[in-house]
Amino acid sequence: MSAAGADVVVVGGGLAGLAAALECADRGAQVAVVERRPRLGGLTWSFHHRGLTVDNGQHVFLRCCHAYLDFLRRIGSDSDVTIQRRLDVTVLTPGGRGARLRRNLLPAPLHLAPSLLRYRHLGAGDRLRLGRAAWSLRRADLADPALDAQTFAAWLAERGQGAGAVEALWDLITVPTVNLPAAQASAAMGAKVFQTGLLSHRGAADIGWSRVPLGFLHGERAASALRGVGAEVATGETVVSVEEGKGSPGPALIVRTDRRRLVAGAVVVAVPHLAVNDILPTGAAPGQQGWGRLGASPIVDVHVVYDRAVTDLPFAAALGSPVQWVFDRTATSGLDRGGRQGQYLAVSMSAADAWVGRHPREIAAAVVAALQQLLPGAGRARVVDTLVTKERTATFRAGPGTGSLRPGPRTALGGVALAGAWTATGWPATMEGAVRSGRAAARVALETAGRPAMAAASSAPPTTTAQPLPEEVA
């Protein structure tokens, strides 16, 4: 077993770990990233299937995700994403009856008012009662423990939002962002999504997505950026423990992998909450024994390839259907190259407890039938191929009371910091939350490694402060 060392060792190569590693390296620290998978990028990864490049899941972001957008700029991927000029979502129901949620140029929250007043999936009474709930959401104290103690559905019911409104509107956003329906989600997490995304600024909820495979957008680009600042990137290597040791001239941390022993001045542990206790000793962090109570919520994606185009929508949401959101991935997958014909749609089903245990053939058949009900063109096309991907532990379950279980970056083990979308970021388990957690952990690690003062002297490019992208003004 060989021994090596680094100022900061980052355990985990997901977005949280990558953000932490880049922050530390840009501040002059010698960094090593160790990832057990053969690739970087965490749950945002891609693979090849019958000549196509397939993303394991559909990951979108909003214009308000400033830390994530800054991360993309840092790794050189900002030109490979697109953001709507204005929020514009088509919401389908079986039979092809659609409605649109679209913002205008009025200031928030008036930017959505005309669209909501015309939103046919809500009854007239439900539309009129939206104002009360929106006003309460704008004023909600997201740090209030009482908000985290109840479900979002219960909170909404107290403000006149019935089951029909929750299904037709509130869950349309809550399910894909919190990965739980309002009836199970913490009111604090539900309120965070709507307060920050829809009520803070008119352009905050404009939807963005990648034009290239996610494995390239995140993993490959980040690996190149890290190596460009002299960081070590080790994949296919499993960290088995992090423990206190003795270094020279002072205390150090020992990171043991299945291949070697690393000596570190500081360590960022950026792995899922269900895996942390396998790496850190008992008592390493306050509340450590309670992290398992955060649970897990699954996501299932169904990939359907047709022999012809069945829709001209880049994406759409659905109600009253197994389909929650559907995305056109034809160009990203490469199906439109080499003279090939057809269309590739990816269907994302969050909070997928009812689906994750079912056979892929059964899931695919249900989704194909549902797409025929939502998209008239799908009934006239031939299905060339289907594929089902499952992330059984995609996110933690952000239910009532989980706010108190999510730890900050500091631990009781000197020099060890925690990162991950499951930590106390104030956000649900999103790409934005992951990046924010990585940055917070990097600050702790840099303090321990004695590197903050080196920031000005470092020749590496500093991480920039994210700014919102320009909005449409006419």
Question: How big is the chain, counted in residues?
Answer: 474
**In the prediction, which pLDDT does 452 show?**
53
Question: What's the token pair of residue 214?
Answer: 């996610």
Interval 118-143: pLDDT, tens: 999 999 999 999 999 999 999 999 99
CA distances (Å), 106 to each of 1, 83, 463, in order? 63, 19, 33
- CA angle 452–231–22, rounded 5-degree value: 50
d(CA 139, CA 191): 10
Q: What is the DSSP letter of 112?
A: G
Range list of H helices, 63-180: 66-75, 113-117, 124-139, 145-148, 152-157, 163-165, 171-178
**In the prediction, which pLDDT does 4 show?**
78
- Domains in the chain, CATH or no CATH each: 2-44+213-293+399-454 (3.50.50.60), 49-82+296-395 (3.90.660.10), 105-203 (1.10.405)
How much is the pTM?
0.93
d(CA 222, CA 22): 8
Number of separate helices (H) and strands (E) present in the chain: 16, 19
The answer to whether 264 and 241 have CB atoms below 8 angstroms apart is: no
d(CA 434, CA 436): 5
Question: What's the token pair of residue 16?
Answer: 């949280």
At 456, is the secondary structure helix, strand, or coil? coil
Output b/e per residue, 225-239; b: 16+ Cβ within 10 A: bbeebebbbbeeeeb
**In the prediction, which pLDDT does 3 show?**
58
**In the prediction, which pLDDT does 147 show?**
98
Interval 225-258: pLDDT, tens: 999 999 999 999 999 999 998 655 556 899 999 9
| CA dihedral of 258, 263, 264, 267, whole degrees rounded to 10 | 20
The answer to whether 19 and 434 have CB atoms below 8 angstroms apart is: yes
Q: How many Å is the Cα radius of gyration of the chain?
A: 23
Q: 10-residue block means of pLDDT along the chain (474 residues)?
A: 78 98 97 98 97 96 98 98 98 91 96 95 93 95 97 98 97 98 98 97 97 98 98 98 74 91 96 96 90 97 98 97 98 93 97 98 98 96 98 98 97 95 98 98 90 40 37 30
Beta-sheet strand order (sheet of 315-318): 97-102, 88-93, 315-318, 325-328, 343-349, 297-306, 383-395
Give me the chain's average pLDDT, please: 92
The answer to whether 19 and 435 have CB atoms below 8 angstroms apart is: yes
**In the prediction, which pLDDT does 338 show?**
85
